[in-house]
Structures are given as C-alpha cells and as structure tokens.
C-alpha cells in the first residue's frame, strides 16, 4: 500500500513539473499568468528546456491589434538538424521574407511605430489583394531589433525561412478580448496561426503564435 501511495505521489509531482516546464522560457512578471492562460493550448510545438537555449521572448496582449507570443531559441547542431527535419515534415506552407506577396498581420507596424501606424503609413490598397487568397497569415517581426529589416513586408531579415504549422479562420479569444482584425482581408478578419522562422546560418529559430 505504501509503495502504491509513493508511486502516485511521484506521478503527481512529475505531472506538476511537466505542466510548469511548458513555459520554461518565460520570466515571471505582471502578465505571466495571463500569457500562460491565453497560449497554453498552442505551444505544444515549442522546444523543451533541454532542447534549446532561450534568447529573446516577446509578447503582445493588445485587443486593439493582436495577441502574440514570439520566442527566439538557439540550438546545438544536433537539435537543429532535428528541428529542420520536423518542421519540413509538419509545415503547411513555407515563405521567404522577400516574397513579393505575403499576408502579414498588422503589416503597417514598423520598428519605429510598433502598434500605432500613422494614417500616412496605412495603405488601404494593400489590405486585400488577390494574391492573399492562397496564403496563410504570418506575423510582423518588427519587435526584434537584431533581426529587423525595413526591406521586407514582414520586417524580418531575408536569411530566414518562415514555416507555417497551422492557420485557422475564426475566433479563438474570449468575447472581451476579440481584436478588431485591423488591416486584414475579410476572410481573415479573425483567426489563429503558428509557426517557426528559421535562420540556418545562425542555428536560431523564432517560434511564433498570433491570435487576432
């Protein structure tokens, strides 16, 4: 009986630790619990704590624009090879930052105006183009200074490859958190997408989730 109780106790501890480890890359702050609540069902593709090294973490919980989580990880050569193999197998689309047509959430945000583009920066003719019909949404990466480029639509340097793992139309936020779907075509007014942007030269990857 004691052995059974001890075994159950170990399982409870292991389960508790596993749940906490899902967000091992986050530092606690005022939004920590809210970030966990919003993104907990969507980070199953993120690396475990022993598979990568966290470099940079950013998120936005802004109902005016979007909810996003972006984390840059670096990898050993062995783990990076595994990542490349997995992402090529599971991705539903692969884009280059230099592609002429990309469906970018909040496309008018820049490193200078992040979140608040002026009226002169908003080009309505770019909100709904025919070439978007066969594309999945990807993030605006303007928050990453070291990887920022004002020469690409998604504001990410050209030496990355952007993989989309999942993208869905619809509402994935509580009613009081639904965003306005600014600057998106009608069929993508609300939705969710997640994926990984990979830099092979530096063995780094941006894991991202966007909900709007």
Q: What is the pLDDT of residue 29?
A: 76
Closest CA to 33 of 41, 25, 42, 23: 23
Q: 10-residue block means of pLDDT along the chain (212 residues)?
A: 43 43 84 90 96 94 91 98 98 98 95 84 96 98 91 97 98 90 92 99 98 97
Contact (CB, 8 A) for 139 and 208: yes
d(CA 148, CA 72): 13
- Helices then strands (H, E): number in the chain? 3, 6
Distance (Å) of CA 22 to CA 96, 157, 178, 187, 203: 29, 29, 25, 32, 22
Please tell me the predicted confidence (pLDDT) of residue 1.
52
Give the helix ranges, DSSP H, for the chain: 2-21, 32-39, 77-90
Per-residue model confidence (pLDDT) at position 116: 85
Q: What is the pLDDT of residue 181?
A: 80
Q: What is the pTM of this model?
A: 0.87
DSSP 33-73: HHHHHHHTTT-TTSPPTTT-EEEEEEEEEETTTEEEEEEEE
CA distance 212 to 86: 27
């Amino acid at each position: 009986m004691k052995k059974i109780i001890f075994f159950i106790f170990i399982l409870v501890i292991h389960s508790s630790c596993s749940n906490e480890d899902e967000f091992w890359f986050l530092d606690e702050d005022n939004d920590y619990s809210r970030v966990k609540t919003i993104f907990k069902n969507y980070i199953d593709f993120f690396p475990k704590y022993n598979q990568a090294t966290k470099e940079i973490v950013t998120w936005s919980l802004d109902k005016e624009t979007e909810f996003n989580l972006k984390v840059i990880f670096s990898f050993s050569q062995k783990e990076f090879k595994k990542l490349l193999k997995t992402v090529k197998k599971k991705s539903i689309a692969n884009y280059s930052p230099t592609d002429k047509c990309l469906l970018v959430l909040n496309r008018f945000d820049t490193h200078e105006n992040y979140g608040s583009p002026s009226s002169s920066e908003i080009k309505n003719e770019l909100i709904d183009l025919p070439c978007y019909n066969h594309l999945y949404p990807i993030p605006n990466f303007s928050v990453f200074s070291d990887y920022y480029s004002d020469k690409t639509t998604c504001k990410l340097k050209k030496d990355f490859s952007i993989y989309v793992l999942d993208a869905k139309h619809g509402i994935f936020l509580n009613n009081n958190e639904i965003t306005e779907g600014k600057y998106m075509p009608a069929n993508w007014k609300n939705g969710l997408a997640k994926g990984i942007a990979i830099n092979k030269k530096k063995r780094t990857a941006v894991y991202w989730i966007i909900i709007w």
